[in-house]
Amino acid sequence: MAVTETSPDTDASLLTVHGLESSYREINDLQLHVVAVGDPDDPLVVLLHGHPDFWYGWRDQIGPLVDAGFRVVVPDQRGCNLSDAPDGIDAYRLSTLVADVCELIHGEGQESAHVVGHDFGGFVAWHLALRHPSIVNHLGILNVPHPTVYRKTLRSSPQQIIRSWYVWFYQIPTLPEWLLRRNDMDNMVDSLETTSNEGTFDGETIKRYKTAWQYTGIEPRINWYRGFRRSVSPPRDTVTQPTLICWGEDDIALRPSMAEESVEYCNDGQLRMFPDASHWVHNEREEVTEELIQHLA
């Protein structure tokens, strides 16, 4: 499924960061929309958004990272916003999403990069670090557990099974797309507002998100979760790269204990817990950006 032909009003023009540009990259036989800024000779940072996000989710981090001396590259992952959205569930397996990031980094003329992921983008980042250790310099993770921790917790915690209800719901054919698309995507808006603190997403921001969802539609985003269920585990459990995990303690979908357990799978891991912050910790707490800069530097 190709991107809908409409004006790209969810491209880099949404931010006033000097030098920020949109481009389309040929990645694994697809066109991915990528927002990039910073000197190409500076250390590369790749920021990976989750669901139901797009590149704009990193609006609070892009400018400060560039000011700190980094080259920042932020893709709309496949199926999202202005990027191509292939048909079928298998196109959204984690191994394929990881391959997109590998090719994106190499397309920057680099053998490796710092990688930061939030939500489902965090799963992609974990898998990238575990499948291709040499391509990740430093790893940053925001509110998503290590894959092994998530898998074990789902097997042992009824509370987490209940919190992850949407993962099972998304496996149902057709119905999730219908429910999320109806009434001008009110349920998609609810997914932002119920998982965040009041004021995190104002009216103008929600309008931008709704525009981004309209380009490729809802189905590709749901296929991320269907592809997740079809994905194989990484070949190793231990993360060798220096890793920083930032976690909003009030995440309604994920138990905070998983953050502590995830650090145990990192040879060089740090955990920063943020009380009174939600799943969208990087949009609610400026300290997250500061912690990331210190970690990557």
53 classed as catalytic: no
Q: Are 217 and 1 in contact (CB under 8 A)?
A: yes
DSSP code of residue 2: P
Catalytic residue among 56, 92, 170, 225: 225
Q: Are 282 and 235 in contact (CB under 8 A)?
A: no
Catalytic residue among 53, 76, 119, 251: 119
Q: Which secondary-structure segment (H or E) carries 140?
A: strand 136-142
225 classed as catalytic: yes
Distance CA 174, CA 8 (A): 27
Q: Are 98 and 112 in contact (CB under 8 A)?
A: no
Whole-angstrom CA distances from 257 to 44, 143, 240, 253 are: 31, 11, 21, 12
Q: Are 17 and 64 in contact (CB under 8 A)?
A: no
| Cα 84–chain centre separation | 17
| Burial profile 158-177: b = 16 or more Cβ within 10 angstroms, e = fewer | eebeebbeebeebeeeeebb
Residues marked as catalytic: 119, 225, 279
